[in-house]
Amino acid sequence: MSDTAPRPRRTALPYVLLVPAIAALLVALGYPLLRQVVLSFQDFGLAQQFGRPPEWIGLDNYRELVTDPYLWRVTLRSLVFCLVNAVATMAVGVGLALLMRHMARSVRILLQTGLLLAWAMPVVASLTVWEWLFDTQYGVINYLLTQMGFDFEGHSWLLRPLSFFFVATVIVVWMSVPFVAFTVYAALTQVPEDLLEAAEIDGASAWSRLRHIILPSVRPVLLVVGLLQIIWDLRVFSQIYILQKAGGSTHDTNLLGTYIYRLGIGGGEFGMAAAVAMFMLVLTVVLTSPYVRAMLKQEGEA
Amino acid sequence: MPRPARRSLRVTANVLGVLAFLVAVFPVYWMVNSSFLARNEIRNPVPTWVPFGGSLDNYRTVFETDQFVNALKMSLMVTLLTVFVALLFAFVASVAVSRFRFRGRMSFIVVLLVIQMIPVEGLFISQYKMLEAMDLLNTVIGLSLVYVAQVLPFTIWTLRGFVTGVPYELEEAAMIDGCSRVQAFFRVTFPLLAPGLVATGVFGFIQAWNEFTLALVVMTREDHRTLPLWLTTFTDVNRGTDWGGIMAGSTLIAIPVIVFFLIVQGRMVSGLTSGAVKG
């Protein structure tokens, strides 16, 4: 505590120092948020885009959305996609982190180097490479599967929605696992070694050591990392958008992000798009509150 | 001790570790490999695994398209402007948060955490409308403005950790030796912050360089595309005909990021979950 609050003297200096940051955030995020709330209560379509004044229509946008089965389908799809991806990422990431403790040093370093490379790849570059890997005609994945005796020659992976989401999941998990594996592994190295040895001498099996010592001691990290995955997987825009451009029906593969984009920027229905965006914001804030609480708790302990 | 069980666990871990390594690294390898291959090798039912006899032709093709060079310039301008402004603003803000106690400090921290989690898609409609009204669509300033807001929270959060890490006693000692408070800060603390500024600056660079969604929304004109936008359009045009060129483009975009990322990676991990690790 000694390094903060050097002197309890009252001064305006800290507020002055915060002005640029707060101003930037207010202009680029605060004002748009306000504007979006207003927009979501207005009839703002293409006519308004060309100069007609927007009309106040109260909750009509929201009413229309709530009764639109398509929004519910997109929402449900987004939630399922988000949960499947978050669970898969956590399972693979935590699994790898646990295995890293038992690997030979050289293998562990090899794996960490590989994960680091995958992690470092820009999203757009990763998607482009995966598109090429899954390419219908000359893609390596079709080639390998055909070699293994399955008939995948000329198979189009993005055509059917389910297969489309499978590809998207593979890519998202591939991109997200490194962060989980590294963070969880870092936490695992903090588990007291003597405690584990004592348990082993007392005859605890590997499984019960995992359940009763290892997992409880990394629980806070698992919670934060898991929550971050859920929040991040709810907002997979570029992944879906770029895969949609590569093929597949937009209507059947839209998630919340791409739906907002196509409604607003694509279709000019700004009022409606704003209402969906508000819905997504509220959803995120609800999901975020436990994360913020966890971070603040550390802040208090630090 | 149950030796055999331990041994088999070790063997399984090693095998799975090597497998996971292959899955992690293969796409990166395949990108670089394909970028060296000629068209007839790319369009061959049997893949070429190692680019023996490869050439730099694909890279030449990419550089010969004006759009790539144009997008490179665009990306550099937007990225550098974003990093410069974000670092400056975040630096002064992080000093305020970590060297002072004042009313509203905690609320500011909470706000930072919350906006870090706001999805871009949640606001891009109204950001688009705002920039349109300000006549800033398709401008470096417009895109940088939304990028600054995007990277500021994390930058402040991380820099705050670095500033707090420099003990205030050092400054006090300098003040006893006759420095003013401001002098003490700039002579003692500031030099010790250099690694932190570099790390957070690099982080901002990576963020802005890779960003796709906001660029798509703000830069609607063809001649204002940043590199990620250029790559997706280039892919759309050449899919099925020139995967080699596409992979050369991807490699060119990825290289600076991979290099930078390897430099700062350790700090980024600790920035996101600092404290949580210590349990």
In A, which residues are within 8 Å of B16 by CB distance?
96, 99
Query: Nearest CA of chain B to the CA of A149: how many Å?
Result: 15
Query: Nearest CA of chain A to the CA of B73: how many Å?
Result: 18
User: Which residues 44-73 of A are in CB contact (within 8 Å) with B?
Assistant: none
A254, containing H or E segment: none
Q: Is the pLDDT of residue B77 over 90?
A: yes
Q: Is the pLDDT of residue A192 over 60?
A: yes
Q: Is the pLDDT of residue B277 over 80?
A: no
Q: Is the pLDDT of residue A248 over 80?
A: no
Quickly tell me which residue has 């700039």 as its tokens: B186
A173-191, pLDDT tens digit by residue?
999 999 999 999 999 998 8
A96-153, pLDDT tens digit by residue?
999 999 999 999 999 999 999 999 999 999 999 999 999 999 999 999 999 999 999 9
pLDDT of residue A169: 98
d(CA A82, CA A103): 31
Longest dimension (CA), chain A: 79
**Cβ pair B18:A111 closer than 8 A:** yes
Q: Are B101 and A8 in contact (CB under 8 A)?
A: yes
B4-49, pLDDT tens digit by residue?
677 888 999 999 999 999 999 999 999 999 999 998 899 888 899 9
C-alpha atoms less than 13 angstroms from C-alpha of B274 in its C-beta half-sphere: 17
Q: Is the pLDDT of residue B67 over 90?
A: yes
Tallying the residues shown for chain B, one arrives at 279
**Cβ pair B93:A292 closer than 8 A:** no
Q: Provide CB contacts within 8 A for A62, sequence distance 6+.
A: A40, A275
Question: Touching check for A129 and chain B: CB below 8 Å?
Answer: yes
Longest dimension (CA), chain B: 76
Q: Are B187 and B138 in contact (CB under 8 A)?
A: no
- For B26, which DSSP code? H
Question: Touching check for A28 and chain B: CB below 8 Å?
Answer: yes
Q: Which residue of A has its CA nearest to B251?
A: A125
d(CA A158, CA A161): 7
pLDDT band at A1 (very low <50, low <70, confident <90, very high): very low
In A, which residues are within 8 Å of B118 by CB distance?
29, 281, 284
In B, which residues are within 8 Å of A231 by CB distance?
117, 119
A269-292, pLDDT tens digit by residue?
999 999 999 999 998 888 888 888
What percent of chain A has a predicted confidence (pLDDT) above 90? 68
For residue B47, give the 3-state DSSP assignment.
coil
**What are the residue boundaries of the structural domains of chain A, listed by start?**
59-301
pLDDT of residue A229: 93
pLDDT of residue A288: 80
Q: Is the pLDDT of residue A56 over 80?
A: yes
Burial class (CB in 10 A: 0-12, 13-18, 19+), B19: exposed
Quickly tell me which residue has 């300098």 as its tokens: B174
In A, which residues are within 8 Å of B210 by CB distance?
122-124
* Interface ipTM above 0.85: yes
Q: Following DSSP, what letter does each residue of B169-183 receive, concatenated?
A: HHHHHHHHTT--HHH
Least CB-CB distance to B121: which of A24, A124, A237?
Answer: A237
Q: Is the pLDDT of residue B192 over 50?
A: yes
Average pLDDT over residues A6-29: 86
Q: Which residue of B has its CA nearest to A182?
A: B269
**Cβ pair A17:B130 closer than 8 A:** no
pTM of the model: 0.90
A221, containing H or E segment: helix A215-234
Beta bridge partners of A42: A56
Cα→Cα distances B128→A21, B133, B139, B152, B155, Å: 21, 9, 12, 19, 24
**Cβ pair A25:B115 closer than 8 A:** yes
B145-191, pLDDT tens digit by residue?
999 999 999 999 989 988 988 888 888 888 898 888 888 888 888 88
The domain made up of A59-301 is a member of CATH 1.10.3720.10: yes
d(CA A36, CA A41): 9
**Cβ pair A128:B235 closer than 8 A:** yes
What percent of chain B has a predicted confidence (pLDDT) above 90? 60
Q: Provide CB contacts within 8 A for B153, sequence distance 6+.
A: A25, B112, B113, B115, B116
**Cβ pair A4:B102 closer than 8 A:** no
Weakest-pLDDT range from A83-92, A185-194, A237-246, A293-302: A293-302
Least CB-CB distance to A129: which of B31, B97, B261?
Answer: B31
Quickly tell me which residue has 């000329």 as its tokens: A154
**Cβ pair A121:B27 closer than 8 A:** yes
Q: Is the pLDDT of residue A4 over 60?
A: no
Quickly tell me which residue has 């703002």 as its tokens: A44
Q: Is the pLDDT of residue B63 over 80?
A: yes
Query: Nearest CA of chain B to the CA of A162: how many Å?
Result: 22
**Where in chain A does DSSP place strands (E)?**
42-43, 55-56
Chain centroid offset of residue B271 CA? 14
Question: Touching check for A27 and chain B: CB below 8 Å?
Answer: yes
Query: Nearest CA of chain A to the CA of B18: how many Å?
Result: 7
Question: Comparing A205 with A35, which gets the higher pLDDT?
Answer: A35
